[in-house]
């Protein structure tokens, strides 16, 4: 027997139960940042800490949040999806056009969702069997889908109302989905976001599928030698992302209730990715949580809301959101290096 | 200790051949593994052991030959098929997911076998993982710890724990204890013996002959992609194993006369008490015009020596070139003091693959080829042309991208790059890895020529024939320390191997 050389430092195994261990969790940091932000806005503005404003924030973040939930799956699996903004536009507009054409609500919604899932399926297949990096595959799909939306609508705005041909009964329910309030106070969009986030949390942290998403993104080799099919896990993550982007797009059209292929959801993919990453998901895969993503979405939403309430110049708002992203990811990288 | 009762064969490999572009990795392999035996597979680097294990794991497909499982001809098309046959492989390079916990890694194969639409049984996972760890005496590890936070040794034990849990019929351990302490290894051997008693076939791939002789019932020796012989471990000596592994006509091993007596030449490099991760108080000197060989097993520390000398890894101790002490951890200073370094990882660290031959040649001495920041193209071309001619590199034109050259020609260009700085000392790590035989001979010729011009050369290599053929003196590294030197007629493969594996 030879003496052997130890190259790795012995890591303390029990520190996750200690206070420093708890403080090191990504969510805690984001959560503290959110608390500080909220405290600051409570004292700096008159209108922040009111139920009306908070529910308003809740509605404003919902669509972003629904998409960020999907993006969490995609990022953890080690991929990225840049086509979600275009998907949001195409799927929403397609649903709206079908309603205008006199379709019933359920068939129109189904077509919209299937459109989104198909886009996700194409993204997934290109990124796995097609061997394209998802950054490239979905960058291409971003234009393909946006172009399809322009062709479909001929560049004209789509406005869902009775005058354009929608059935009044269908329109009433469609509007309620986007503009209504549960019990008269909770915006329906927020209700959907909460339901989807809760469901996603269960899937990601409690089911075998969620486990596989982490395994595939954490180490493709480890997953493969364990017998996990990397391609199918990634494709399902993209399909889920596609469905959620489509649903958010449909809600958006129901809320406004009009959209235009050249403008709807333009650049939205970057907000979605930013919120997810601020929430702790890693671009290199294997890391991320639904709770973190919700906090990331909240930080960006509260920040926007607060800057508006304080009357900050919208151009400066944009700049500050950018700084938040850089600082949040900077903290992540810094702490990763310390752990390594 | 050989198990003499009639055993059932689990896997038989008959005439299996595996070709890679330009290399015959496995050449008509014949070997069988039986239930209830520990079957050691030994051989030098490049003998084909890992390729064979990858075929068993379903990671590689043979070009020819047949695999019989339980007597029936079988194709191991994927890792899943391999596991369905009850084959489990513990990889030399770890196959763990650093972002998941110990429990999640240990239970990953179970999760893969269950339906996607089930819940993760967290408590059961933790319980079973804890039991698997306890079997290895690793009770102190918390199953919820992320694997990325573990030491290499701990991660290796987690990987072994995962394999043992799977109740394999054939368990492949490929260098399973390269990072383990003596105590941890003992625990592993105990479990291997227990598995044998339970009727598992254990394939044990190792460089440590003492362990092999201690554990194995049968030993198969591989050399140059062939199975040389399978022997029953009964009064087998280490010398016998080493002879079987080396197996060449030793008389012709040193084809060139080491003409010069470089003892008369001035000392170029002096290393005093060099200590770094994996290296323990290393001392040696190299003289001008001399080729010093450094050998050793993969985990001996020799693979770090080049990086440490060049300053890529922080060190303590004194390194002097021509009497001037080198600052630690400063590669740029090492170049200035006259050192040139050719790392083993040609594609990663050595070459600018996407750039041209000419750019690669001058890249280590750009200052000499530019004025006020502008490159002097004509001068660069002249220098590149001179080096290409000197090294006899076969290229189509100086603008050719390095990636399109063969491995041998790439290595020549990299050698040329190190010579542009007019080094006093040339440190080469695995100088002919992945290069075909003809180009190897040419590179050896070039190295002798460079040495003849008065450059001191250190050749760190896993290929013993290469050391025997080229080095005037050979130092063998083991556990981070150097053995006494081999010199002149004492330099032969058996002597190197015996020192590398000494216990």
Name the token pair of B414.
Answer: 């990299």
The C-alpha of B75 sits at a distance from chain A's nearest C-alpha, in angstroms, of 17
User: For residues A207 and A227, is the Cβ–Cβ distance under 8 A?
Assistant: no
State the best of B88, B93, B116 to mutate against chain A, taking most chain A CBs within 10 Å: B116
Can you tell me the distance from the alpha carbon of B18 to that of B29, in angstroms, rounded to the nearest whole number? 9
CA atoms in the 13 A half-sphere facing the CB of B140: 6
* Domain coordinates in residue numbering, chain B: 9-250, 251-501
Report yes or no: A232 and A52 within 8 Å, Cβ to Cβ: no
User: Which chain A residues contact residue B182 at CB under 8 A?
Assistant: 1, 3-4
Q: Does A211 reach chain B within 8 Å, measured CB to CB?
A: yes
Contact of B158 with B187, CB cutoff 8 Å: no
- Record: contact A206-B119, CB cut-off 8 A: yes
Determine the Cα–Cα distance for residues A212 and A249; give it in Å rounded to an integer.
Answer: 28
Instruction: Report the chain B residue with the minimal C-alpha distance to residue A287.
Output: B99
**Interface-testing mutation among A3, A9, A10, A13, with chain B (most B C-beta atoms within 10 A):** A13
pTM, full prediction: 0.78
Taking Cα atoms as reference points, which of A217, A219, A264 lies closest to residue A97?
A264
Residues with Cβ within 8 Å of A234's Cβ and at least 6 positions away in sequence, in order, are A77, A78, A79, A124, A127, A128, A216
- The pLDDT, as a whole number, for residue A14 is 38
> HEC string of B115-175?
CCCCECCHHHHHHHHHHHHHHCCCCCCCCCCEHHHCCHHHHHHHHHHHHHHCCCCEEEEEC
Report how far residue A42's alpha carbon sits from residue A44's, in angstroms, rounded to the nearest whole number: 6
Find residue B274's DSSP bridge partners. B282
Most confident of A286-290, B148-152, B165-169, B398-402: A286-290
CB contact under 8 A, B278 and A206: no
The shortest CB-CB distance from B180 to any of A4, A16, A227 is to A4
- CB-CB under 8 Å, A6 with B179: yes
Which of B227, B302, B307 shows the shortest CA–CA distance to B500? B302
Q: Do A215 and B108 touch (CB under 8 A)?
A: yes
Interface of B with A in 269-298 (CB under 8 A): 277-278
A60 contacts: CB under 8 Å, gap ≥ 6: A301, A304, A305
Each residue's pLDDT tens digit, B47-58: 888 889 989 988
Q: Flag whether pLDDT at B276 surpasses 80.
A: yes
A212 and chain B: CB distance < 8 Å anywhere?
A: yes
- pLDDT value at residue A258: 92
- Number of domains into which chain A is organized: 1
Q: Does residue A337 belong to the interface with chain B, where contact is any CB pair within 8 Å?
A: no
Report whether pLDDT(B81) > 80: yes
Q: Do B79 and A224 touch (CB under 8 A)?
A: yes
Residue of A nearest to B153 (CA): A6
CB contact under 8 A, A217 and B99: yes
Neighbours of B408 (CB within 10 A): 20
d(CA A265, CA A85): 5
Q: Over 80: is that where the pLDDT of B45 sits? A: no
Residue of A nearest to B177 (CA): A4
Nearest CA in chain A to B79: A225
Q: Closest Cα of chain A to B389: distance in Å?
A: 41
Interatomic CA distance for residues B503 and B496, integer angstroms: 14
CATH class of B251-501: alpha beta
Residues in chain A: 340
**Nearest CA-CA partner of B169 in B11, B6, B2:** B11
Q: Is the dihedral of CA B184, B134, B94, A292 positive or negative?
A: negative
DSSP assignment of B201-267 equals EEEEE-S-HHHHHHH-SEEEEEETTEEEEEEE-SS--HHHHHHHHH-S-GGGS--S-----GGGSPE
Q: Which of A14, A214, A227 sits opposite B83 (nearest CB)?
A: A227
Question: Does the structure's ipTM exceed the value 0.85?
Answer: no
Res A335: pLDDT: 63
Q: Cis omega (within 30 of 0) on the bond before B26?
A: no
CA atoms within 13 A on the CB side of A303: 21
Quote the pLDDT of residue A9. 35
| Residue in chain B nearest A21 by alpha carbon | B145
Determine whether the interchain pair B108/A222 forms a contact, defined as Cβ–Cβ distance below 8 Å.
yes
Q: Which residues of B touch A16 (CB under 8 A)?
A: 142, 144-145
Report d(CA B382, CA B327) in Å as an integer. 33
Among the partner residues A4, A13, A218, nearest to B145 by beta-carbon distance: A13
Largest CA distance in chain B: 81
3-state secondary structure of B69: strand
Statement: residue B162 has pLDDT above 60:
yes
Per the DSSP assignment, residues forming a β-bridge with B456 are B425
Question: Is position A41 within any domain?
Answer: no
The three-point CA angle B332-B276-A1 to 5° equals 145
pLDDT digits (tens, 9 = 90+) for B225-274: 899 999 999 988 888 888 888 775 444 445 454 545 566 788 999 999 99
**DSSP code per residue over A221-267:** HHHHHHT--HHHHHHHHHHHHHHHHHHHHHHHHHHS-EE-TTTTTTT
Q: Which helix (H) or strand (E) holds A133?
A: none
CB-based contact B108 A1, cutoff 8 Å: no
Contacts of B150 in chain A (CB under 8 A): 8, 11
Contact B154 A286 (CB under 8 A): no
State whether residue A225 sits within 8 Å of chain B by CB: yes
Interface of A with B in 313-332 (CB under 8 A): none
**From B100, B208, B278, residue closest to A5, measured CB to CB:** B278
Name the nearest CA neighbour of A239 among A63, A61, A81: A81
- d(Cα B382, Cα B377) in Å, to the nearest integer? 9
**Average pLDDT, integer, range B185-212:** 89
Q: Do B149 and A339 touch (CB under 8 A)?
A: yes
- Closest Cα to residue B474, out of B308, B268, B302? B302
Answer yes or no: do A215 and B111 touch at CB < 8 A: yes
How many whole angstroms separate alpha carbon B176 and alpha carbon B202?
A: 12
Partners of residue B374 on adjacent β-strands: B371
- Each residue of A256-273: pLDDT tens digit? 999 999 999 999 999 999
Comparing A8-12, A285-289, B139-143, B315-319, which segment has the lowest mean pLDDT?
A8-12
B99·A208 Cβ contact <8 A: no
pLDDT of A119-162, one tens digit each?
999 999 999 999 999 999 999 999 999 999 999 999 999 999 99
Contact B112 A228 (CB under 8 A): yes
- Lowest-confidence segment of A16-30, B146-160, B354-368 by average pLDDT: A16-30
Placement of tokens 């930080």 in the chain: A299
Q: What is the per-residue burial (b if ≥16 Cβ within 10 Å, else e) of B437-447? A: eebbebbbebb
* CB interface of B with A, residues 91-120, below 8 Å: 91, 95-100, 104-105, 108-109, 111-120
Q: Phi first, then psi: what are they for B20, rounded to 5°?
A: -110, 160
Partner-chain residue, chosen from A4, A217, A221, that has the shortest CB–CB distance to B179: A4
Domain CATH for A75: 1.10.3470
Alpha-carbon Rg for chain A in angstroms:
21
Specify whether the CB–CB gap between B326 and B357 falls below 8 A: no
Instruction: Give the contacts of B151 (CB within 8 A, at least 6 positions apart).
Output: A6, A7, A8, A9, A10, A11, B179
Q: State the pLDDT confidence band at B498, using cuts at 50, 70 and 90.
A: confident
- Residue found under tokens 């002789």: B213
C-alpha of B417 from chain center: 25
CA A44 to chain centre: 29
What is the rounded average pLDDT for all residues in chain B?
A: 86
**The residue to which tokens 């354009």 are assigned:** A164
**Three-state secondary structure readout of B340-386:** EEECCCHHHHHCCCCCEHHHHHHHHHHHHHEECCEECHHHHHHHHHH
Interface mutation target, options B77, B82, B99, chain A, most CBs of A under 10 Å: B99
The residue in chain A having the minimum alpha-carbon distance to the alpha carbon of residue B103 is: A211
Highest mean pLDDT among A79-93, B205-219, B355-369, B402-416: A79-93
Q: Which residue in chain A is spatially nearest to B102 when comparing CA positions?
A: A13
Interface residue B123 vs chain A (CB under 8 A): no
Using CA coordinates, name the residue in chain B closest to A220.
B97
d(CA B258, CA B491): 12
Q: What are the residue ranges in chain A where pLDDT is below 50?
A: 1-18, 337-340
Per-residue pLDDT tens for B3-43? Answer: 444 468 999 999 999 987 767 889 999 999 999 999 999 98
Instruction: Return the residue in B140, B149, B174, B314 with the most chain A beta carbons within 10 A, the one to mutate for interface testing.
Output: B149
Boundaries of domain holding A199: 53-339
How many CA atoms lie less than 13 Å away from A210 in the CB half-sphere?
21
Is residue B476 classed as helix, strand or coil in its secondary structure?
A: strand
- C-alpha to C-alpha distance for A330 and A296, rounded to whole angstroms: 14
Cβ separation B97–A212 shorter than 8 A: no
Homologous superfamily (CATH) of B9-250 is: P-loop containing nucleotide triphosphate hydrolases (3.40.50.300)
In a domain? residue A134: yes
Predicted pLDDT at B348: 65
Query: How many Cα atoms sit within 13 Å of A87 on the Cβ side?
Result: 34
Contacts of A146 (CB under 8 A, 6+ apart): A85, A86, A89, A90, A261
**Closest Cα in chain B to A215:** B97
| CA–CA separation, B200 and B195 (whole Å) | 5
| Contact with chain B for residue A219, Cβ under 8 A | yes
Tokens of B69: 């499982």
With beta carbons under 8 A apart, name residues in chain B contacting A224: 79
Which chain A residues are closer than 8 Å to B181 by Cβ? 3-4, 6
Residue A36 located in a structural domain: no
Q: Would A92 be classed as within a structural domain?
A: yes
In degrees and rounded to multiples of 5, residue A283 shows phi and psi of -65, -20
Phi, psi of B426 (to 5 degrees): -115, 120
Look at residue A182 and tell me if it is in a domain.
yes
- Counts for chain A of helices (H) and strands (E), in that order: 14, 4
């Amino acid at each position: 027997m030879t003496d052997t050389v130890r190259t790795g430092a012995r890591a303390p195994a029990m520190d996750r139960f200690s206070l420093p261990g708890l403080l090191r969790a990504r969510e805690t940091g984001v959560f503290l940042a959110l608390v500080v932000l909220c405290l600051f806005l409570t004292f700096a503005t008159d209108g922040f800490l009111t139920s009306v404003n908070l529910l308003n924030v809740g509605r404003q973040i919902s669509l972003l949040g629904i998409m960020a939930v999907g993006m969490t799956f995609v990022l953890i699996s080690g991929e990225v999806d840049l086509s979600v903004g275009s998907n949001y536009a195409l799927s929403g507009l397609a649903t709206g056009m079908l309603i205008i054409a006199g379709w019933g609500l359920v068939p129109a919604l189904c077509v919209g969702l299937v459109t989104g899932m198909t886009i996700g399926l194409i993204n997934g297949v290109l990124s796995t069997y097609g061997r394209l990096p998802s950054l490239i595959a979905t960058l291409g799909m971003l234009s393909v889908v946006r172009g399809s939306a322009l062709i479909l609508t001929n560049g004209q705005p789509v406005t869902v109302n009775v005058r354009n041909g929608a059935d009044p009964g269908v329109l009433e329910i469609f509007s309620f989905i986007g503009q209504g309030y549960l019990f008269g106070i909770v915006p329906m969009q927020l209700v959907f976001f909460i339901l989807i986030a809760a469901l996603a949390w269960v899937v990601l942290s409690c089911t075998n599928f969620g486990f596989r998403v982490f395994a595939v993104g954490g180490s493709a080799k480890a997953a493969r030698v364990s017998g996990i099919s990397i391609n199918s896990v990634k494709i399902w993550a993209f399909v889920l992302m596609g469905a959620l982007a489509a649903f958010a797009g449909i809600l958006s059209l129901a809320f406004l209730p009009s959209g235009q292929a050249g403008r709807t959801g333009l650049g939205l993919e970057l907000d979605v990715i930013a919120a997810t990453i601020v929430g702790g998901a890693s671009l290199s895969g294997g890391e991320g949580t639904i709770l973190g993503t919700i906090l990331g979405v909240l930080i960006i939403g509260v920040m926007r809301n607060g800057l508006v309430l304080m009357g900050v110049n919208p151009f400066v708002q944009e700049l500050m959101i950018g700084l938040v992203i850089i600082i949040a990811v900077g903290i992540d990288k810094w702490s990763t290096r310390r752990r390594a | 200790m050989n198990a003499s009762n009639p055993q059932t064969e689990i896997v038989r490999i008959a005439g299996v051949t595996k070709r890679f572009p330009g290399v015959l990795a496995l050449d008509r392999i014949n070997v069988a593994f039986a239930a209830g035996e520990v079957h050691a597979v030994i051989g030098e680097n490049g003998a084909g052991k890992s390729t064979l294990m990858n075929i068993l794991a379903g990671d590689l497909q043979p070009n020819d030959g047949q695999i019989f499982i339980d007597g029936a001809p079988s194709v191991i098309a994927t890792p899943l098929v391999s596991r369905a046959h009850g084959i489990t492989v513990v990889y030399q390079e770890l196959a763990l997911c650093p972002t998941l916990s110990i429990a999640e890694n240990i239970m990953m194969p179970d999760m893969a076998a269950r339906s996607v639409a089930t819940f993760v049984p967290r408590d059961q996972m933790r319980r079973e993982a804890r039991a698997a760890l306890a079997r290895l005496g690793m009770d102190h590890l918390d199953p919820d710890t992320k694997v990325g936070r573990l030491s290499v040794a701990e991660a290796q034990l987690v990987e072994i724990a995962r394999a043992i849990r799977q109740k394999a019929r054939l368990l492949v351990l490929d260098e399973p204890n390269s990072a383990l302490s003596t105590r941890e290894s003992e625990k592993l051997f105990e479990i291997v013996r227990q598995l044998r008693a339970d009727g598992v076939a254990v394939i044990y791939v190792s460089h440590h002959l003492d362990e092999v002789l201690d554990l194995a019932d049968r030993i198969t020796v591989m050399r140059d992609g062939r199975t040389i012989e399978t022997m029953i471990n009964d009064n087998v000596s280490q010398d016998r194993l080493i002879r079987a592994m080396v197996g060449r006509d030793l008389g012709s091993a040193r084809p060139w006369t080491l003409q010069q007596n470089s003892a008369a030449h001035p000392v170029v490099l002096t290393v005093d008490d060099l200590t770094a991760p994996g290296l323990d108080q290393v001392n040696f000197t190299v003289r001008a015009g001399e080729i010093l060989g450094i050998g050793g097993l993969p985990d001996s520390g020799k693979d770090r020596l080049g990086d440490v000398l060049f300053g890529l890894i922080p060190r303590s101790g004194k390194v002097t070139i021509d009497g001037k002490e080198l600052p630690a951890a400063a590669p740029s200073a090492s170049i200035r003091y006259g050192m040139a370094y050719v790392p083993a990882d040609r594609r990663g660290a050595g070459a600018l693959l996407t750039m041209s031959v000419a750019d690669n040649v001058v890249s280590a001495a750009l200052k000499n080829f530019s004025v006020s920041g502008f490159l002097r193209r004509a001068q660069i071309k002249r220098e590149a042309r001179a080096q290409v001619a000197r090294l006899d590199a076969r290229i189509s034109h100086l603008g050719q991208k390095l990636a399109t050259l063969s491995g041998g020609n790439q290595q020549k260009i990299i050698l040329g790059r190190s010579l542009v700085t007019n080094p006093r000392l040339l440190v080469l790590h695995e100088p002919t890895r992945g290069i075909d035989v003809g180009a190897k001979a040419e590179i050896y010729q070039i190295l002798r020529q460079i040495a003849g011009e008065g450059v001191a050369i250190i050749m760190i290599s896993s290929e013993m024939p290469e050391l025997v053929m080229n080095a005037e003196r050979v130092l063998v590294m083991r556990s981070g320390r150097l053995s006494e030197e081999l010199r002149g007629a004492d330099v032969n493969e058996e002597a190197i191997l015996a020192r590398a594996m000494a216990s």
